[in-house]
Amino acid sequence: MGEISILEFNEHIAKYKTAFLCGNGFSMNFDSDFGRIYDNLFTSHRAVINNSIFDVKSNKAFTRKCNENFKSVKQYLRNISENTLFKIFDDALIFAETIIENSKLIDEMWNEKLITRLVFGLSQVDIVNRICEVGRSKGIKFVNIEHWTILIYFYFAIKQLSPVYYEFPNNNSFLTILKVGDKSNVRLLPTENQLNEHVVFNGFTTYYRFLFSIAIFSNGKAFDLSLLSNIKNLELDGIKKFLNKFDLLLSLNYDKIMENVADKPVEHLHGEFVKDKSEYVYCQSYGLKFDNGYVSFSDILIGDYFIFKSFLPVVHNLSKNSFEKKMQYPSKKIEMLIKNRSINSVIIFGMNIENDQHVLRNLMLAFYHSQHQYPQIIYCYFCPEEKKDFEEQYQAVITFSEDVNRYVKNISVSYIKTQDILKEYFY
Taking residues 216-239, what's their average pLDDT? Answer: 94
Q: Are residues 201 and 248 in the same domain?
A: no
Assign 90 a pLDDT band (cuts: 50, 70, 90).
very high
- List strands edge to edge, sheet with 248-251: 2-3, 412-417, 376-381, 345-349, 18-22, 248-251, 267-268
Q: Does residue 279 lie within any of the structural domains?
A: no
Among the listed ranges 91-100, 298-307, 368-377, 404-413, which one has the minimum average pLDDT value? 298-307
Residue 214 neighbours by CB distance under 10 Å = 25
Q: Are residues 69 and 131 in the same domain?
A: yes
At residue 311, what are phi and psi to the nearest 5 degrees?
A: -70, -45
Q: Are residues 8 and 77 in the same domain?
A: no
Q: Are residues 25 and 57 in the same domain?
A: no
pLDDT exceeds cutoff 70 at 48: yes
pLDDT exceeds cutoff 80 at 326: no
Q: Does residue 388 lie within any of the structural domains?
A: yes
Q: Are 156 and 199 in contact (CB under 8 A)?
A: yes
Q: Are residues 344 and 375 in the same domain?
A: yes
Q: Are residues 134 and 249 in the same domain?
A: no
Q: What integer pLDDT is reported at residue 172 of this predicted model?
A: 98
Q: What integer pLDDT is reported at residue 127 of this predicted model?
A: 94
Q: Are residues 49 and 79 in the same domain?
A: yes
Q: What integer pLDDT is reported at residue 316 of this predicted model?
A: 56
Q: Does residue 287 lie within any of the structural domains?
A: no
Q: Are 381 and 387 in contact (CB under 8 A)?
A: yes
pLDDT exceeds cutoff 60 at 247: yes
Q: Are residues 414 and 344 in the same domain?
A: yes
Give the residue, 396 or 349, on which the prediction is more confident: 349
Q: Please give the DSSP secondary-structure letter assigned to residue 280.
A: B
Q: Does residue 1 lie within any of the structural domains?
A: yes
Taking residues 13-34, what's their average pLDDT? Answer: 94
pTM of the model: 0.91
Q: Are 122 and 393 in contact (CB under 8 A)?
A: no
Say how far apart CA 167 and CA 161 lie, in whole Å. 12
Residue 129 neighbours by CB distance under 10 Å = 14
Among the listed ranges 196-210, 273-287, 318-332, 390-404, which one has the minimum average pLDDT value? 318-332
Angle value at C-alpha 401, between 400 and 406, nearest 5 degrees: 85
Q: What integer pLDDT is reported at residue 322 of this predicted model?
A: 66
pLDDT exceeds cutoff 80 at 67: yes
Give the residue, 58 or 107, on which the prediction is more confident: 107
122-159, pLDDT tens digit by residue? Answer: 899 999 999 999 999 999 999 999 999 999 999 999 99
Assign 32 a pLDDT band (cuts: 50, 70, 90).
very high
Domain that holds residue 207: 38-216
Taking residues 206-221, what's their average pLDDT? Answer: 95
290-306, pLDDT tens digit by residue? Answer: 988 999 999 988 887 77
pLDDT exceeds cutoff 80 at 97: yes
Q: Does residue 292 lie within any of the structural domains?
A: no
Taking residues 262-270, what's their average pLDDT? Answer: 94
Assign 100 a pLDDT band (cuts: 50, 70, 90).
very high
pLDDT exceeds cutoff 80 at 415: yes
Q: What integer pLDDT is reported at residue 42 of this predicted model?
A: 97
**CATH (domain of 335):** 3.40.50.1220
Q: What is the mean pLDDT of the chain?
A: 91
Q: Are residues 79 and 55 in the same domain?
A: yes
Q: What integer pLDDT is reported at residue 321 of this predicted model?
A: 67
- Domain boundary (216, 250, 282) is at 216
Q: Are residues 14 and 112 in the same domain?
A: no
pLDDT exceeds cutoff 70 at 318: no
Say how far apart CA 352 and CA 330 lie, in whole Å. 18
pLDDT exceeds cutoff 60 at 360: yes
3-state secondary structure of 376: strand
Write the CA distances from 38 to 52, 99, 213, 287, integer angstroms: 19, 24, 12, 20
Taking residues 35-49, what's their average pLDDT? Answer: 95
271: left (phi over 0), alpha (psi -120 to 50) or beta: left
Q: Are residues 59 and 207 in the same domain?
A: yes
Q: Does residue 63 lie within any of the structural domains?
A: yes
Among the listed ranges 165-179, 263-277, 325-339, which one has the minimum average pLDDT value? 325-339
Q: Does residue 75 lie within any of the structural domains?
A: yes
163-206, pLDDT tens digit by residue? Answer: 999 999 999 999 999 999 999 988 887 776 788 889 999 999 99
Residue 120, H or E segment: none
pLDDT exceeds cutoff 90 at 112: yes
pLDDT exceeds cutoff 60 at 319: no
Q: Does residue 77 lie within any of the structural domains?
A: yes
pLDDT exceeds cutoff 80 at 330: no
Q: Are residues 133 and 20 in the same domain?
A: no
Q: Are 77 and 70 in contact (CB under 8 A)?
A: no
- Four-residue CA torsion sign, 325, 251, 200, 45: negative
pLDDT exceeds cutoff 90 at 282: no
Q: How many domains does the chain have?
A: 2
